[in-house]
Amino acid sequence: MRLLNFIVLFLPQVFWAQESHFIEADGHTVHFRLFGMGEPLLIINGGPGMSSNGFENLAKDLAKDRQTILYDQRGTGLSKMAKIDAASMTMDLLVQDLESLRKHLNLEKWTILGHSFGGMLAYAYAAKYPERVKAMIQSSSGGMDLSILSDLDISTALTPIERDSLQYYRIKIATGDNTHATLLKRGEFLAPAYVFDRKHIPEIAERLTQVNTRISSMIWDDLQQKKFDTKGDMKDFTKPVLIINGAEDIVGLEIPQTAHDVLPNSKLIILPQTRHYGWLDAKVEYFDAISDFLKSL
């Protein structure tokens, strides 16, 4: 259950999305949207097992002076697959989907922003295709390896009442109650672990109802079986990297600090009074940091 709780969400203006686009990649359909014009910035949402729907406003905010690319990871949202199983749900195939998308867009290089699990996917892509990455932004990243699984305990950020209530709704779900109402109640008691500012709890709770737990489990199983670890590749990755993390983030501070130590050309920014969603808890500081980094490129 702890693995499934590591679900990352983006939530709620200048450029609106073009119509949906689709490409065929390795026998399945990948759905993506484009916002704005200019230098390409790929946004990889968290999860795994969640669509990009909650990332739309972020893509619009960042598209003021560049083109942002938002896509649904395989098997989520409008990215359809004929068969979803352990063989078709791997990190290697998620990486190949990104490369198929880059080729389809005819881009020589792109900057990549990965949030939470999306940061892990960004590291995996950069490890395999470093020549295709102009720069990288790691936003509350899950990290370069699986160290997050040894220490992650989201419940420590909750009050005793929230922990008890969360456990109650987890049990209801485990015993077969998967109604939206029950999923939403679980989300309401889990959401405070993700944001410092509690006014965002309702939108995060709604987002937490949308995870495909089957896909999530298969991806985490694949990562563990293959002992996911990109530190060896990343120590030779010399492109600019911005690492931005909340001071009270569920991923902790060791993961971003390790990344900063490994990456030879990185900048680390820790946002105070911020948990997993910098653009919600510290919107001005979060976007200023990203804007300054992108301008420096």
List the chain domain ranges. Answer: 2-154+212-296
Decide if pLDDT at 4 tops 60: no
Decide if pLDDT at 11 tops 80: no
d(C-alpha 73, C-alpha 287), whole Å = 24
Least confident segment among 127-131, 150-154, 171-175, 250-254: 150-154
**Cα angle, residue 176 at apex, residues 173 and 182 outer, rounded to 5°:** 40
DSSP alpha helices (H): ranges in 74-200?
91-104, 117-128, 148-151, 160-174, 180-190
At 33, is the secondary structure helix, strand, or coil?
Answer: strand
Q: Specify the pairing of strand 67-71 against strand 40-44.
A: parallel
Share of the chain above pLDDT 70, in %: 94
d(C-alpha 73, C-alpha 56), whole Å = 14
DSSP at 194: T
DSSP at 73: P
CB 109 within 8 A of CB 133: yes
CB 222 within 8 A of CB 124: no
* Structure confidence by residue, pLDDT tens digits, 274-287: 999 999 999 999 99
Share of the chain above pLDDT 90, in %: 86
Q: Is pTM beyond 0.75 here?
A: yes
Question: Which of 117-121, 152-156, 188-192 is modeled with the greatest confidence?
Answer: 117-121
Q: How many other β-carbons are positioned within 10 Å of the β-carbon of residue 57?
A: 13
Average pLDDT, the chain: 91
CB 70 within 8 A of CB 55: yes
- Nearest CA-CA partner of 40 in 113, 100, 95, 99: 113
DSSP at 72: P
Q: How many other β-carbons are positioned within 10 Å of the β-carbon of residue 1?
A: 9
At 196, is the secondary structure helix, strand, or coil?
Answer: coil
Average pLDDT over residues 8-18: 44
pLDDT at position 276: 94
d(C-alpha 51, C-alpha 72), whole Å = 5
d(C-alpha 266, C-alpha 235), whole Å = 11
d(C-alpha 107, C-alpha 42), whole Å = 11
Is it true that domain 2-154+212-296 has CATH number 3.40.50.1820? yes
Burial status of residue 161 (CB atoms within 10 A of its CB: 0-12, 13-18, 19 or more): exposed
pLDDT at position 219: 97
Decide if pLDDT at 14 tops 50: no
DSSP at 102: H
